[in-house]
Amino acid sequence: MKPNPFLVNVAALRPTPGGRHHVMRSGTIDGLVITGSSVPSSAEVVVEADIEVVDGGVVVTGTVSAPWVGECRRCLRLVSGRLETPVREIYERVPRVWVDNQDDTDETETYPLIGDTVDLVPLARDALLLDLPMAPLCRDDCVGLCPRCGADRQEQECDCIDQPGHPVWAALHELYEAIEDGTAIEDGTAIEDGTAVEGDAGTDGEEQPRNPA
């Protein structure tokens, strides 16, 4: 098993509360995958941070960066970019989870300080998973694929939109024409012929005593 490059020993900082220590660590982290994009498992994740000793733990303030790849949500083209995610997190000997008062769905937690060791992996993982794009676009104005023939409209034009050959388009076409002609609401009176209230029940049955017993 490879040693974890994201472990930082903070023992040297202990005697001087308030002391800062700058670290830069890099390596690969598995499982950075969400719907829409991921950090490739072979990609280098870099954590650059100041570690500051506070009462009962340390504060890690810095940036997590990594390349990401994904699929354009409209045209499925490969898209990529780089995350530069700011972090400010607390490591404590007794980690806590609490609910933020302002938004009670937002759980905040601190990370464990085990011995004198800070493991930057959970911090980097959480920061990157939150920052990965869920629905990336290859460009803001990507026009996507034709829903009918699948043509990439960025590369080629197709004639599908104006062709009423498909039943869906034909039905829409008729509706548009009806609206234009003003005939779309012509049939609105058809249910008022009164046939629904025939067959009056309850006039020809004998009265029954309600409680025969």
Binding site for Zn ion (CB under 5 A): 72, 74-75, 77, 138, 142, 146, 148-149, 151, 158, 160
CB of 196 to Zn ion, least distance (A): 46
CB nearer to Zn ion: pick between 21 and 73: 73
CB of 128 to Zn ion, least distance (A): 23
CB nearer to Zn ion: pick between 38 and 169: 169
Q: What is the DSSP letter of 179?
A: H
CA 5 from chain centre, in angstroms, equals 29
Strands 78-92, 57-71: parallel, antiparallel or unpaired by DSSP? Answer: antiparallel
CB nearer to Zn ion: pick between 141 and 181: 141
Distance CA 94, CA 200 (A): 77
Residues ≥6 apart with Cβ < 8 Å to 14: 53, 116
CB of 151 to Zn ion, least distance (A): 5
Q: Whose CA is closest to 129, among 33, 29, 30, 26?
A: 33
CB nearer to Zn ion: pick between 165 and 194: 165
CB nearer to Zn ion: pick between 87 and 138: 138
* Amino acid type, 50: D
- Report residue 51: phi and psi, to 5°: -110, 125
* Beta bridge partners of residue 62, listed in sequence order: 49, 87
Q: Answer yes or no: are the C-beta atoms of 91 and 60 closer than 8 Å.
A: yes
CB nearer to Zn ion: pick between 77 and 125: 77
Q: Say how many C-beta atoms besides its own lie within 10 A of residue 78's C-beta.
A: 10
